[in-house]
Amino acid sequence: MILTDKKILEAIDRGQIVIEPFRSECLGTNSYDVHLGKYLAVYRDRVLDAKKHNPVELFEIGPEGFVLQPGTLYLGVTEEYTETHHCVPFLEGKSSIGRLGIDIHATAGKGDVGFSNTWTLEISCVQPVRVYAGMPVGQLIYFLIDGDIENYYNKKKNAKYNQRTDKPVESMMWKNFPVDE
């Protein structure tokens, strides 16, 4: 079951959903609009290795915007910090973004109950397109869960994306592999 605008507001009042900053004009019928933060990152190396840390180059989007290029994966970040303690958040791109040929996530559209952070966006495009910090980029949809939770994301010892940040976070897949001796 998807939460409606009224249920999202009730969950915010109870502290079950946190959105900072919260702007009432961003609340839709059954979603909340999120915005592109001011930072983007690209991987330094063209060939990435899942077993190794792949460093990124971070840069700030200026007032003139930034032109995304096809064939490059950009890591972006939402302006909004969110917490979700009783439902599963899904992040989807806004239709207006899709109509510009922009995808905001490759695979990571679902958050876990207990996720508490900004959202790193996996941005790609089909043709060059200029983007701007602060532009609406996605919407959060909240699904109710059934049953008790034993393992909240923000309390997991092995959670890789728990450190609060306002910058995109590169893949931590390498942490899933044992250290070579």
Tens digit of each residue's pLDDT (9 = 90 or more) over 35-68: 999 999 999 999 999 999 999 999 999 999 999 9
Query: What pLDDT score was predicted for residue 180?
Result: 60
Q: Is 83 a catalytic residue?
A: no
Query: What pLDDT score was predicted for residue 159?
Result: 72
Chain center to CA of 35: 10
CATH number at residue 113: 2.70.40.10
Q: Which residue has the higher pLDDT, 152 or 66?
A: 66
Q: What does 113-130 look like in DSSP terms, one character per residue?
A: TT-EEPPEEEEEESS-EE
Sequence-ordered strand ranges (E) for 96-163: 102-103, 116-117, 120-125, 129-131, 136-144
Average pLDDT of the chain, as a whole number: 93
181 CB-side CA count, 13 A = 0
pTM metric for this prediction: 0.91
64, 92, 122, 170: the active-site residue: 122
> Dihedral through CA 153, CA 159, CA 160, CA 161, nearest 10?
20
Enclosing domain of residue 19:
5-147+160-174
Is residue 125, in this structure, part of any structural domain at all? yes
From the list 106, 99, 143, the residue with the least C-alpha distance to 122 is: 106
Is residue 121, in this structure, part of any structural domain at all? yes
19-37 average pLDDT score: 98
Give the total number of structural domains in the chain. Answer: 1
Tens digit of each residue's pLDDT (9 = 90 or more) over 154-175: 777 777 777 788 998 888 888 8
